[in-house]
Structure 1
Amino acid sequence: MSTTGHDVSVIGLYILDILGRPVTRIPERGNVEFIDEIRLTVAGTAGGVVVNTAKLGLKSLAVGAVGEDEKADFVIGAMDRLGIDTSAMQRLDGIPTSATILNVRPNGDRPALHQRGASDHFDLTAELADKAFDAPIVHLGGTGLLKRLDGPRSVEILKEAKRRGRTTTFDLIAASAETARLVLPLLPYVDYFMPSIEEAQDMSGQKGPEDCAKFYLDQGASTCVFTLGGDGAYYAGADGTRLKVPAYRIDVVDTTGCGDAFDAGFIAALHHRMDPETGIRFAQGVAALVAGGLGSDAGVISFEHTKDFVAAKLAALG
């Protein structure tokens, strides 16, 4: 049971995203191209999750690293304004905050330019361990871009979370066949493994959600929840439960952070003890709200607003 009052602890990759849309081309020479919108957001496979869990009403702890620069000031300030506990965020001297420039195309695609920074140097210190593991749900996000934490250290973190009786959720970034060596040893300590289907296929060499789920369940994951883009989501539990839930029809503006938003929605569903199908539909609602605007938290207002959004979408399906 939590003693600090946090509902979720979100450990891992914290990034500043700088987004612009719509970008149809990069101007030649020193010319200027005018676009409609530019935003700064807290993002990453931990940052994008913790922002949305907070918006959904969960008492959220951010656990990661930023630099000592103006980007860090924005990231910490934005989380503070949402009521996120940032006391477990490290500020590292002489290292830039991890950041990404995203040129969002009219169809929602988002070619990215990324500066690796503080997240590569992040480790969960012994002084922060009790606080980080105190929440009933512990999310680790960002494997693949957490240079110091990736590998055996992440195994230790998830193993300790399970030793303390926590529910563990996990997502990654920049997955490839090589990333599998970092991910597979973690799975025996992961309750909910939540990659995109593209990531799941790239790491496993399997095709389709059913075969991918069998592969990861055989490797020790308790439950796989794959996001399928426009095809919805797929849930596979070690208990034999299998669900494929279609996506909602929406007008896509920007797909940045949709996977992180889904993770946040699913974590909120776990917190509220929703059944798997209801939880997936709620998580898809959070992702759909994000896809309808610019940035990894666009459109997300509150738990009740999201419930109403999902109810309206389900009613429209008949």
Structure 2
Amino acid sequence: MRYDVSVIGLYILDILGRPVTHIPERGNVEFIEEIRLTVAGTAGGVVVNTAKLGLKSLAVGAVGDDEKGDFVIDTMGRFGIDTSAMQRLTGVPTSATILNVRPNGDRPALHVRGASDHFDVAPAMYDQVFDAPIVHLGGTGLLKKLDGPRSVVLLQEAKKRGCTVTFDLIAASYETRELVLPLLPHIDYFMPSIEEARDMSRQASVQDCAAFYLDKGAKTCVFTLGGDGAYYASADGTRMHVPAYDIQVVDTTGCGDGFDAGFITALHHKMNPEQAVLFAQGVAGLVASGLGSDAGVKSFAHTLETAAGWRRKS
């Protein structure tokens, strides 16, 4: 196969600043410590990190024909990501977010939906898009054209071709479940945050959330629990809570995307479930140590070495 992973979905330019304590009144200026531009989104943040972790990665999404799109494509190219399946759309802006990162890590966002709303994967692209053992779909809920029946067809095709399917979404609400539930029988690893899982299922406990999605067809649930770590539940009966690493958090932007990338990389290296969750948490921890969705991530070996020196919360 040409690729180790094909990452389909939401590609965003993030413009981040920290620390932001308040927005100046009128036309006044406040000085902050850091501003950064990153390739982000539930696909973009994943593909950058899988590439940094050494996987041959294909980016499948859309950007506008604008300066923001130039940055997204050029940046991914510098990381060695194949961008030949990225669409450049005329007349719409690249999806972008301004994030004001507060000292406590909160990050109120201003978002332009843009090109990702117009993105679809045509059947003519299937031979390239599915030329990988792992296919990740990220961004359901903000992929207006691809969301719904088109995503069902896409994941059905991925499974027909023998791909392992990983999945994450963004800004989920109870209404989002109508987009997600039909996809679950075609998903091997369902990886939302516990907040998203609860909002869609209306189940309270982590265990009940997992049971809900497994009953609807998901093969395995891997929920990120923020500072409480992660929870793994498989249809084979495996249940596991893995505590988080005890680290100093700078910015949680993209931690879920980093976790996804780490878990995908662990699948590539055929780690067992506990090793996979721990490695994914290591990537997320590195992301949390700096500003943006790929902060701190350097390589597979560096992640293993760094995480080995961290203490886990009790």
**TM-score normalised by length of structure 1:** 0.98
Cα deviation, residue 208, structure 1: 1.8
1:74 aligned to 65, 71, 75, which one?
71
Stretches of structure 2 that go unaligned for 5 or more consecutive residues are none
Match of 1:141 in 2: 138
Cα deviation, residue 126, structure 1: 2.2
1:278 aligned to 275, 279, 285, which one?
275
2: CA distance, partners of 1:208 / 1:229: 15
Residue 178 (str. 1) matches residue 175 (str. 2): yes
2:198 aligned to 198, 201, 208, which one?
201
2:88 aligned to 86, 91, 97, which one?
91
Cα deviation, residue 101, structure 1: 0.2
2: CA distance, partners of 1:194 / 1:251: 24
8 Å Cα contact 2:244-2:313 kept in structure 1: no
Cα deviation, residue 317, structure 1: 7.3
1:113 aligned to 98, 104, 110, which one?
110
SS of the aligned residue for 1:16 comes to: strand
1:290 aligned to 271, 287, 291, which one?
287
Question: Which amino acid in structure 1 is aligned with residue 59 of structure 2?
Answer: A
8 Å Cα contact 1:43-1:296 kept in structure 2: yes
2: CA distance, partners of 1:61 / 1:98: 19
Stretches of structure 1 that go unaligned for 5 or more consecutive residues are none
SS of the aligned residue for 1:161 comes to: helix
Cα deviation, residue 127, structure 1: 2.3
2: CA distance, partners of 1:92 / 1:147: 15
1:237 aligned to 229, 234, 237, which one?
234
8 Å Cα contact 1:195-1:226 kept in structure 2: yes
Match of 1:52 in 2: 49
2: CA distance, partners of 1:249 / 1:135: 35
Question: Which amino acid in structure 2 is aligned with residue 134 of structure 1?
Answer: D
Q: Which runs of 4+ in 1 moved over 6 A?
A: none
8 Å Cα contact 1:197-1:208 kept in structure 2: no
Deviation string, structure 1 residues 264-287 (Cα, Å, up to 9, x no partner): 000000000000000000000000
Q: Provide the aligned length of Structure 1 versus Structure 2.
A: 314
Deviation string, structure 1 residues 42-76 (Cα, Å, up to 9, x no partner): 00000000000000000000000000000000000
Residues 124-139 of structure 1 mapped to structure 2, 5 A cutoff = 124-139=121-136
Cα deviation, residue 225, structure 1: 0.1
2: CA distance, partners of 1:317 / 1:133: 39
1: CA distance, partners of 2:222 / 2:186: 15
8 Å Cα contact 2:262-2:283 kept in structure 1: yes
Cα deviation, residue 311, structure 1: 1.1
2: CA distance, partners of 1:151 / 1:275: 32
SS of the aligned residue for 2:54 comes to: coil
Residue 158 (str. 1) matches residue 177 (str. 2): no
Residues 210-221 of structure 1 mapped to structure 2, 5 A cutoff = 210-221=207-218
**RMSD of aligned residue pairs (Cα, Å):** 1.0
1:32 aligned to 16, 19, 29, which one?
29
Question: Which amino acid in structure 2 is aligned with residue 265 of structure 1?
Answer: G
**TM-score normalised by length of structure 2:** 0.99
Question: Which amino acid in structure 1 is aligned with residue 60 of structure 2?
Answer: V
